[in-house]
Amino acid sequence: MSLVAEQLGFHSENEFRLQNICCEIRPGELSIIIGPNGSGKTSLIKLLAGELAPTQGRVTLDNVDLHDWHSGKLAQRRAVMPQHATLDFPFRVRDVVALGRSPYPRDVQKDTTLVEQAMRHFDVEVLGDRMYTTLSGGERQRVHLARVWVQLSDPEGIFPRYLLLDEPTSALDMRHQREFLSLLKQSVSGGQMGVVAVLHDLSSAVRYADRLILLNEGELVAAGTCKQVMTPENIQNIYQIPVEFLPYTRGENHVIAVPDD
Amino acid sequence: MIITRIHEIFGLDKIGQALFSGLAFFISATCFAQVSVIDDLGREIRLEKPAQRIVCLAPHNTENLFTAGAGGQIVGTVDHSDYPEQALDIPRVGNYKQVNIEAVLGLKPDLIIAWSSGNTNESVERLIDLGIPVFYSEPHTFEEIINNIERLALLSGRLEDATPRLEGMRRTFRDLKTEYSGKKLLKIFYQVWDQPLITLNGEHSVSHAFKLCSGINIFADEPTIAPRINIEGVIAKNPQLILLAGHSVTQAASWIDTWSEWSSIDAVSSGQIKNIDADVMNRPTLRFLEGTRQLCEIIQSARLGTER
Amino acid sequence: MNALITHRVLFTGLSLALIFAIAISILSGSVDIGLQEALNILAHSWASDDALMLSDDMQIKQAVLVQIRLPRIALAMITGLTLAVSGTVMQGLFRNPLADPGLMGISAGCAFGAALFAVLGANWLATMGGISSVWALPMAAFLGGLVSTWLVFFLGRSGQRTDVATMLLAGIAINVIATAGTSALKFVADDQALRGVVFWLMGNLGSTPWDRLLWVAPVQLASVVAMLFYAPTLNAFLLGEAEAQHLGYNVERSKRILILLVALSVGLSVSLAGVIGFVGLVVPHLLRRVVGADHRVLLPASAILGAVLVLLADWLSRTLLAPTEIPVGILMALTGGPFFIWLLLTTRYRFTR
């Protein structure tokens, strides 16, 4: 019972963007994809989401190829937040968040409760009646986070759900980043949700991830626990910049880049 | 031109010049046959000799030139010049909206008869700029039609032949006038299209024909020449005669059905719905005069029908 | 709840506007019919078809009201609501505020179909003698619209997917080609053959009888109602096609169904009433400023406002120079164009990225 990539490859116009990727997103785990620009992180998310069709291998959810899933049923099982969510029409924030309820039969009372709850989680309740188009970048990102959150928060669902996030914190300030990642961590701990997120901030990745997936030039370099993946060699080889690992007070490591003298 | 040249040759003094001018004019009007007329836009057209190669830019011009007796002098005309039959053999230079200037020039015309409200003004002005005499023809009333034919006869040197015909036309016109003036006025609806309903206003020559026959166009006062109206407008005006001017008998026949359910209109209840040849009524030519005579008869019979 | 109040005010206002527009349309015309008379006639016509009870004068008025004004009002309303809803759907589907049945080449395709029929088909039909020409021109128009929509759709496809941006561009190209084709036909054909087409292209609400309306309008209404059911899908579409897919919508199927529904309803509308532009463009823009882009509100509101707008335009077209009628398409473009520019200049939200 998990979201699995088997020998996954994708190429467009004779150019390989990803090849030979094997990984598994399990319920109860927060997996974080890291890697330099152009390493194929977004392509991997899109493949896992079924937005791109793999040219090699396949992606399965509960051992069923994503291609064979009914789109409505699939939407109750996994939600996706793209890197750039666009919405250029005036839409009330509350209604944008409520779009997350699309896969479920309509139930006004339940929908309202879940939407309000998600808006509280992501600190956007005060924006409820504002038009989306008037929001700042960070506010918009939080609205979309609330939307995908709502999509997976039906209390009656029994199956494990999966949340796929492409750079979900890119526009968030420090407080909101931390609150959000803690919320993710907390919700996977119930064992009913698996999350995979692309992050650029290695320190956050180390701090919150249960598993890390390190990509470089379209290939999987390493996958596993932080200790296995986040080695100074790996990071220096791939990012081509000297790094230092400073210990946290709580025993975890903190990564900082050191200027090349 | 000619006059000046004669002056030079004879080297006359001022008094003699004045005397000679009168003589020269006399000569030019007869021997040299110089002609000068005013066209329907008020421009003067002066020809040194009657035109022998004429190009017509509207069907009614062709027809009127034939009436004037100058049909053989037409070297070019436009599409739809289909009357009289000989007109069909004349080379075409486009249609009245799109005249091919090069084709016109290729025919080396010495006179062009244009139609100011139909032709594209730019093309005609180009021809004027190129030095070709252009006569604008824009007849609406009977007097104007007859007058037009007379001036065309003059420009083409056919005035003598045409005079008896012109007299005949004037007589027909006078006779119609005396016969129908003072008769009881009849309200007429003239239909040129059915979906949407389209009629003609008081500016159109059809309305002049109505006047001659003591009929009234119920939509004479509308602002546009071919106004779009609706059945309700016709019901409100309640015409005593409906004239269907379709371009074919079958078309007009299909229009009659539309009226049958509106028996509150006098023309419908008394069965006064008649066909009329649209081509005849739309072109300001001799046929229009003939058409008017028939129109007056239709109106008269409708008048008798209503009085009964 | 702020939004709820806005919606109530909006729909109350729109309904009142619709009632007002219907009322002035019923009461205006060359034949004088007062409000009391109109109500009497309607009550009488409703109660029985026993016309003998009415005086001669009232019989005329009844005929005018029932046979002329009411079908005209019904046609104006159905045309307005079809065009406005189709415009809203197109804009939502293409996530582009330029999308409009007119700009997408559907109307131009209809016009070309009709012109082609008038020039080439009329003689052929005369020899066949089967269908009456009253039906043939609208049919030709509808087929023209369907062919142009299919072309736009076909050109917009890449592989398994339909690319909306390409489709929009293809629509503009088809629009240009069809318009040029119609002009070419106007150029080669003689005036008489195309006269009907030219009049009909300018928009004409006045000459559709009940029987034709009763055949076509239900199909139009049904496809509009079907479009209303797609409001949540269209909302999801605003986030992008991939997002709509992630939210569980069958994006490809929805796109195809919606485009077909638009082609069907607009094709039928053009076939009955001719080309009336700007309704599909102006109505959604205006309403989005007031209620936002939520299609669950926007679509029904568009339907009502579209009906009101075409009713008023038709009312103006037949009263301004009465009894002369100004073609309603021309009137709509003349008033809609400047109004649209004003909307553009004062709109707060951005249309595109």
Homologous superfamily assigned to A3-257:
P-loop containing nucleotide triphosphate hydrolases (3.40.50.300)
* B198 touching chain C per CB within 8 A: yes
Q: Report the pLDDT value the prediction gives residue C273, as an integer from 0 to 100.
A: 86
Whether B146 and B102 map to the same domain: the answer is yes
Give domain status of residue B75, yes or no: yes
Whether B156 and B61 map to the same domain: the answer is yes
Rounded Cα distance between C328 and B103, Å, is 40
- Both tokens of A37, joined, read 């620009």
Of all residues in chain B, the one with the smallest CA distance to C69 is B232
Average pLDDT over residues B133-159: 91
Whether B17 and B73 map to the same domain: the answer is no
Mean pLDDT score of chain B: 84
Give domain status of residue B177, yes or no: no
Average pLDDT over residues B145-159: 93
Q: What is the domain-level CATH number for residue B187?
A: 3.40.50.1980
pLDDT of B19 > 50? The answer is no
Rounded Cα distance between C67 and C208, Å, is 10
Whether B217 and B121 map to the same domain: the answer is no
Q: Report the pLDDT value the prediction gives residue A203, as an integer from 0 to 100.
A: 83
Give domain status of residue C5, yes or no: no
Whether B193 and B278 map to the same domain: the answer is yes
Which residues in chain C show pLDDT less than 70? Answer: 1-2, 47-54, 121-135, 158-162, 190-194, 196, 347-353
Q: Report the pLDDT value the prediction gives residue C224, as an integer from 0 to 100.
A: 95
Percent of chain B beyond pLDDT 70? 87
Q: Which of C232, C248, C292 sits opposite A72 (nearest CB)?
A: C248
Q: How many distinct structural domains can be found in chain C?
A: 1
Q: C297 lies in which domain range? A: 68-346
- Concatenated DSSP letters for chain A? --EEEEEEEEEETTEEEEEEEEEEE-TT-EEEEE--TTSSHHHHHHHHHTSS--SEEEEEETTEEGGGS-HHHHHHHEEEE-SS----S--BHHHHHHGGGTTS---HHHHHHHHHHHHHHTT-GGGTTSBGGGS-HHHHHHHHHHHHHHHH--TT--S-EEEEEESTTTT--HHHHHHHHHHHHHHHTTSSEEEEEE-S-HHHHHHH-SEEEEEETTEEEEEE-HHHH--HHHHHHHH-S-EEEEEPTTS-EEEEE----
Whether B157 and B226 map to the same domain: the answer is no
Rounded Cα distance between C53 and C30, Å, is 24
**Residue A30, φ and ψ in degrees, nearest 5:** -105, 105
Whether B40 and B9 map to the same domain: the answer is no
The letter for the amino acid at C60 is I
Q: Which of C92, C245, C353 sits opposite A71 (nearest CB)?
A: C245
Indicate the pLDDT class of residue B31, thresholds 50, 70 and 90.
very low
Whether B154 and B187 map to the same domain: the answer is no
Cβ within 8 Å, pair B223-C67: no
Whether B74 and B120 map to the same domain: the answer is yes
* C31 touching chain B per CB within 8 A: yes
Q: Report the pLDDT value the prediction gives residue B16, as an integer from 0 to 100.
A: 44
Give domain status of residue B173, yes or no: no
* B222 touching chain C per CB within 8 A: yes
Q: B70 lies in which domain range? A: 36-165
Cβ within 8 Å, pair C248-A95: no
Q: Report the pLDDT value the prediction gives residue C125, as an integer from 0 to 100.
A: 57
Q: How many distinct structural domains can be found in chain B?
A: 3
Q: Report the pLDDT value the prediction gives residue C267, as an integer from 0 to 100.
A: 85
Give domain status of residue C321, yes or no: yes
Separation in Å, CA B273 to CA B149, B188, B233, B239, B244: 33, 10, 17, 10, 7
Give domain status of residue C192, yes or no: yes
Q: Report the pLDDT value the prediction gives residue A252, as an integer from 0 to 100.
A: 59
Cβ within 8 Å, pair A71-C240: no
Query: Who wins on pLDDT, B125 or B18?
Result: B125
Residues of C in contact with B224 (CB under 8 A): 324
Give domain status of residue B81, yes or no: yes
Best of A89, A106, A135, A164 to mutate (most C CBs within 10 Å, chain C): A89
Whether B283 and B199 map to the same domain: the answer is yes
- Both tokens of B232, joined, read 């309700």
Q: Which chains reach chain A with 3 or more Cβ–Cβ distances below 8 angstroms? A: C
Whether B191 and B290 map to the same domain: the answer is yes
Cβ within 8 Å, pair C248-A71: yes
Percent of chain B beyond pLDDT 90? 45
Chains A and B touch each other (3 or more Cβ pairs < 8 A): no
Average pLDDT over residues B270-280: 86
Indicate the pLDDT class of residue B7, thresholds 50, 70 and 90.
very low
Cα Rg of chain C (Å, integer): 21
Cβ within 8 Å, pair C95-A82: no
Give domain status of residue C229, yes or no: yes
Residues of B in contact with C59 (CB under 8 A): 264
Rounded Cα distance between A204 and A207, Å, is 5
Cβ within 8 Å, pair B235-C31: yes
Nearest-CA distance from C325 to chain B in Å?
Answer: 5
Residues 109-138 on C with a CB inside 8 Å of B are 133
Cβ within 8 Å, pair A92-C3: yes
Give domain status of residue C178, yes or no: yes
Q: Which of B193, B233, B262 sits opposite C30 (nearest CB)?
A: B233
Q: Per-residue confidence of chain A (261 residues) as pLDDT tens digits? A: 789 888 888 887 767 788 888 889 999 999 999 998 888 899 999 999 988 888 889 999 988 998 899 988 899 999 999 888 778 888 889 999 999 999 988 888 999 999 999 999 888 999 988 889 889 888 999 999 999 999 988 777 667 899 999 999 888 888 888 888 988 888 888 888 899 999 988 888 888 889 999 999 888 988 888 888 888 888 888 888 777 777 665 555 666 666 665
The dihedral through the CA atoms of A46, A48, A49, A55 has a sign that is positive
Closest-CA residue to B172 (of B217, B216, B213): B213
Best of C243, C286, C288 to mutate (most A CBs within 10 Å, chain A): C243
